Structure 1
Amino acid sequence: MRKFLLAASVLVSLLAPSITHAYQQGDLIFRAGLVTVDPHERSEEIDHATLGKVPGSKVSLDSETQLGLNYTYMMTDHFGVELLAATPFLGEVKLKGMPGPYSSLNGRLGDTKYLPPTLSVVYFPLSDLYRFQPYVGVGVNYTAFFKESLGTSAHRDGFHQLQIDDSIGLAAQVGLDYMLTDQFLVNAQVRYIDISTQATTKLNGQKVDVDVNIDPMVYMFSVGYRF
């Protein structure tokens, strides 16, 4: 019975309003933690200057985890502006589905670094009396690709150069802050980002390109501080 009452009291203390005030107009919240970009790409068929579109072919981009930084400024008690930033991600670009005599081209094509900063408007529906602060947000993402490089085997197979276009798209998210004290918090958030790009290379002097919707889910777990 004592164990049950203790567990119940802990649960009530977590769910009920507390003296810990969460967010108010003018607050600045800084969060830092691990952020994972998990692509759910939908690739068009690879388009070769001579062969045309190659049926069944596509490209893919691997998942990657980096240090994520998150800044939120509260414009009112419920609405804020949030910026998601991170250290550069490294993605491995893979070629898949090349048929018959071109099947030896399948595998690692190269690598690229990219940054997906995202600016969002976030909404916190609960009052500042609750430790738990769920929120939703919508915004705009700009993903910059840079330092693209072909793999050694791709060079041997006749590929030359690799370029991936930058992308601008919409983003949506849900998140949850839990206030440990008036200043310190822990956070979990997940967001969807619309990233559409075109990758271009050359194979034996012939242009090869492909349109890719990367459209990743982005997961972040962090600790934070309210100023």
Structure 2
Amino acid sequence: MKFLLAPALALAALAPAIGVARAADAPLDPPTFETAAPFDWSRFMVRGRVIGVVPHKSKANFNIPGSAHISSDVMPEIDFTYFFTPNLAIEVICCASKHSIKGRGALKGLNVGDTWVIPATVTAQYHFTNFGKFKPYVGVGVNYSIYFNEDGAGPTVRRLNLKNSVGVAGQIGFDYMIDEHWGVNVDVKKIYMEPKISLAAGGANVHGRAKINPWVIGTGVTYRF
């Protein structure tokens, strides 16, 4: 009996070591790595806004005594945005506004005339993406303002002309996305417009520079695709 019990005890003592050796010889499963899902974002955005073009203390100074004031206007506007990355984008706006020009100072009471302007503006933007549905952005760019259909009020002012101008533009705003495609937008721009102005008044040719420099304040609907 002692001869049978001794081998059994020895085998029991060696069993854990045998199990470890077999485990070491067993083939290992290849490691697995989890990959992050790609960031889902759209490259194109279009907005329809209602904007107010509000000249900031606008004034036209002439080579004669007196000055002129340029009025505000409200109109529809559409803009297009292209995203190079989820954060970096470029925006182009398209609209046209009409403004009246009235005399001040020595020219008080004189209706100078009115003009249309296309404030073509392109801005490079940075969009913040870490606030969920609330997506603020800032931008800076260039403006090229095209003046057309200038109309002297007459009979005193027979001719009115504003020369196209170039200036810088700054921008701040946000989109609040309701779902993947639709959202609402609030946008504020400061555009520097200082065109040369000339007019024929009475028997004199009057010229000067208009400092319009408007705030462009808008709100509307965003669609991203």
* Rounded Cα–Cα distance in structure 2 between residues aligned with 1:29 and 1:206: 50
Shift of 1:107: 3.3
Q: How do 1:29-44 residues align onto structure 2 when only pairs under 5 Å count?
A: 29-43=45-59
> Is residue 95 of structure 1 aligned with residue 103 of structure 2?
yes
* Kept in 2: contact 1:43–1:210 (CA 8 A): no
Shift of 1:167: 0.8
* Kept in 2: contact 1:178–1:185 (CA 8 A): yes
Which amino acid in the other structure matches residue 126 of structure 1? T
> Which residue, 112, 115, 121 being the options, matches 1:112?
115
Which amino acid in the other structure matches residue 46 of structure 1? F
CA gap of 1:205–1:177, structure 2 versus 1, over 3 A, is: same
* Rounded Cα–Cα distance in structure 2 between residues aligned with 1:199 and 1:45: 9
> Which residue, 57, 61, 70 being the options, matches 1:45?
61
* Kept in 2: contact 1:23–1:74 (CA 8 A): no
Bigger radius of gyration among the two:
2
User: Which 5+ residue runs of structure 2 have no aligned equivalent?
Assistant: 1-38
* Kept in 1: contact 2:159–2:201 (CA 8 A): no
Shift of 1:126: 2.4
TM-score normalised by length of structure 2: 0.78
Answer 1 or 2: higher relative contact order, Cα 8 Å, separation at least 6. 1
User: What is the number of residues matched between the two proteins?
Assistant: 187
TM-score normalised by length of structure 1: 0.77
* Rounded Cα–Cα distance in structure 1 between residues aligned with 2:100 and 2:69: 8
Which amino acid in the other structure matches residue 135 of structure 1? Y
Which amino acid in the other structure matches residue 93 of structure 1? I
- For residues 31-90 of structure 1, the C-alpha deviation after alignment (integer angstroms, 9 at most, x for no partner) is 00201100014535321xxxxx31xx211111101111011110011000101111x211
Which amino acid in the other structure matches residue 141 of structure 1? N
User: Sequence identity, in percent?
Assistant: 27
> Is residue 79 of structure 1 aligned with residue 82 of structure 2?
no
* Rounded Cα–Cα distance in structure 2 between residues aligned with 1:45 and 1:97: 11
> Which residue, 136, 148, 152 being the options, matches 1:134?
136
- For residues 181-227 of structure 1, the C-alpha deviation after alignment (integer angstroms, 9 at most, x for no partner) is 00001000101001011110112232101212110000110101111
Structure-1 residue corresponding to 2:20: none
* Rounded Cα–Cα distance in structure 1 between residues aligned with 2:60 and 2:110: 17
SS at match of 2:195: strand
Q: How do 1:2-81 residues align onto structure 2 when only pairs under 5 Å count?
A: 24=41, 27-43=43-59, 45-47=61-63, 53-54=64-65, 57-81=66-90
- For residues 102-148 of structure 1, the C-alpha deviation after alignment (integer angstroms, 9 at most, x for no partner) is x5x63321111111011010101224x71000000000001110000
CA gap of 1:44–1:201, structure 2 versus 1, over 3 A, is: closer
* Rounded Cα–Cα distance in structure 1 between residues aligned with 2:180 and 2:197: 47
CA gap of 1:212–1:23, structure 2 versus 1, over 3 A, is: farther
Which amino acid in the other structure matches residue 129 of structure 2? L
